Amino acid sequence: MTKNYVPLRVNRDFGDIINTYFDFFKRNIKKFTNVFISYNGIFLIGLLVASYLMVSGILGLIEIENNFGIETTNEEDFYIPMAIGGGLFFIIFVMVGALNYGLSTSYMVLYDNDPNESFQKKDVWAYTKSHMGSIILFILLLFVIYIGFLIVSIFFLIIPIVGSLAQYVLQFFISAWVGVSFFEMLQNKKPVGAALSEGWNLVKNNFWRSVGVNFVMGLLLFILLMLMMTVPGVLFGIYTFHVVENSVSLTSNVVATVIYTICLTLALIVLIYGQCLTQFVNGILYYTLHEKTYNINTRKRIEQIGEDLNNA
């Protein structure tokens, strides 16, 4: 076991789960980011293209809006690239979601199985690729799950105050259930249905701990992501001020398109990376709940102590 290795299979209370997450995050941020960049490269290029198309369309429509009263027959020229960019973004986002759900979970599974931390990024990709069929099926089922969640949320929102609170509790419960189930699927190589069933039992039996961890960590990660957004945000704000002050043409100025495209692309990358960080939260939660339920690591330690006493 390497120095400062963070064991995952420990029955932790609420506060320890939060502390363990940040310990794991600090120790693994550099190594996982390397994995993230290595296997998301082609998709990041695709996001850049999608961002360019959407920005081109949006800037064109803004230009037309600001010149209200001037006849134009070219609105379709801006709607088309915006629609193509939006469609391309949706496809890439789904593919990236499946990939990074798999990469972040596989990374943690290999970390748990290798206290010496000798696994490499190629091992993370190989583990993810070996479960790609189950990952795709799981992601497809998520659409059904979240459609059901949206329908239920509409009914909750009809009820003042209490309904809104119930909607948030349900949201964090589903986030915990989905994340824990995904870990169960990859960790124990279970079919999707069996993994969802086991994840449901683990989260349901530890309802408030699961909801609370996702709420607190969701809030903290939101603040972290907002801090990461300051780079594209500041760049966007400064250049927008320049555009307004100098009446710069949005459609004919290449610099405007490039800057806004870079800002949008960086914002999307931050959101995708944040998805991985959220899955790490559910990873810590999964190993905690699994150990609380099955005591696998505790039994191993007891057996090792027994063996040591017999050999003494």
Residue range 23-38: average pLDDT? 92
Q: Which helix (H) or strand (E) holds 8?
A: none
Q: Answer for the pair 105, 186: CB distance below 8 angstroms, yes or no.
A: yes
pLDDT at 249: 62
pLDDT, average across residues 1-26: 89
Which helix or strand (DSSP H or E) is residue 151 part of? helix 132-158
Q: What are the pLDDT digits (tens) for 226-252?
A: 888 888 888 888 877 776 677 666 666
Q: Residue 197 and residue 13: Cα distance in Å, rounded?
A: 23
* Mean pLDDT, rounded, for 128-153: 91
The stretch 65-70 carries a mean pLDDT of 54
How does pLDDT run across 178-202, given as a tens digit for each residue? Answer: 999 999 999 999 999 999 999 999 9
pLDDT score recorded for residue 68: 45
Burial of 35 (0-12, 13-18, 19+ CB in 10 A): buried
Q: Judge whether residue 52 has pLDDT over 90.
A: no
pLDDT at 56: 81
Output the pLDDT for position 252. 62
Burial of 122 (0-12, 13-18, 19+ CB in 10 A): exposed
Q: Does the structure show a pLDDT above 90 at 203?
A: yes
- Over residues 96-138, the pLDDT tens digits come to 888 999 999 999 999 999 988 899 999 999 999 999 999 999 9
Q: Tell me what the mean pLDDT of segment 75-103 comes to.
A: 83
Work out whether the CA dihedral 176, 179, 184, 190 comes out positive or negative: positive
Rounded to whole angstroms, the Cα distance separating 183 from 101 reads 10
pLDDT tens for each residue of 267-295: 888 888 988 899 999 999 999 999 999 98
CB burial of 88-98 (b: ≥16 within 10 Å; e: otherwise) equals bbeebbeebeb
Contact predicate 187/202, CB 8 Å: no
To 10 degrees, what angle do helices 254-294 and 162-187 make?
80
Q: Quick one: 149 exposed, middle or buried, by C-beta within 10 A (0-12, 13-18, 19+)? A: middle
User: pTM here?
Assistant: 0.88
Most trustworthy range by pLDDT among 37-41, 49-53, 277-281, 298-302: 277-281
